Structure 1
Amino acid sequence: MLAATVGLHGLLIAAGWGLGVPVREPPAVEPPPLQVMLISERDGAGTSPQAVQQPATDTGRPMPLPPPTAEPVSAPVIRQPDRPALPITAPDLAPLAELPAPTAAIRLRLHIDANGRVGPVDVLESDPGDAAFVQRLVEILLATPHVPARRDGEDVASDKVVSLDFGPGG
């Protein structure tokens, strides 16, 4: 019985492969064409530019893209102030004399609002061992009033980078 089953399967396999029985390939199906259109932030209701698939027409050809309706998207231009923010008085650095001198350069970014108030202050560069010195320096700079920056005759917020180098040759 087992021999008959194996023989029958062998005949069926041989009949289907290589003995003149045509093998039918499935018809090739081409995917619909993909067209991509970038949508600017203004057109996309606050979303990032994205790809949009356009449906095919009855003829199988893609639908034509609509003409562009918006201006090209570009990065905003940031204009520098006509006059930078300036301290009204010199910062009182006397409290720094109580602390050990820093071992490396210190770079800070001061954010100065349109009223001349400093805050916050970002530490861009410093040695971790100079943390107490940097903290006191930040406190001093936060207490130093400024005349705000001006652009087109109006007071504006601005940033100022302060670099201090206490190392050799600094």
Structure 2
Amino acid sequence: MNFFTKPRLICRLLLSVIAGVLFLSYMTSSKQERTLLYFQQSDGGIGIEERYLPPLSESEFAVSLVNELLLGPADHRFLRFADPELRLRSCFVRDNALYIDFPAQVLTPDIKAPDFHTVYTLLRKNIAVNCKNIGAVYFYIDGVPAYVKNYHSSTDNKKS
């Protein structure tokens, strides 16, 4: 029995081509950053979900993280922050501060969601853990500050 038969050589050649293509695609593929996302569990606790996001600059990553959080958790035991169709009015980073402007419908979600103060707290926690260069997070609802200097304020900007 000959070890170097024509069918065996063809199989080995195909296997080495496949292995080479897989190796090259692995080496040239974009790397992902491990990100921990915090969501409220339906029983009231806080849960952690692991996701891999593409590496971006710090400001682009912060905006991407907020959008990822608004997509909601993959685990059905966690609560969404807002309705799935909610779109931010604006979200940007300036001078190491993140500015997020929500539409008014964030206050009255159609789904089971935590209260807005919990959403605020979890968004700040997610930004603090995953974006080290972001020093402050400012929340607005329809252009009106929602939280000022860690004090809750209503949508008419009066302290409650």
Structures share a fold, TM > 0.5?
A: no
Greater helix content: 2
Name the structure, 1 or 2, with higher relative contact order (CA <8 Å, separation 6+): 1
TM-score interval, smaller chain: under 0.3
Greater strand content: 2
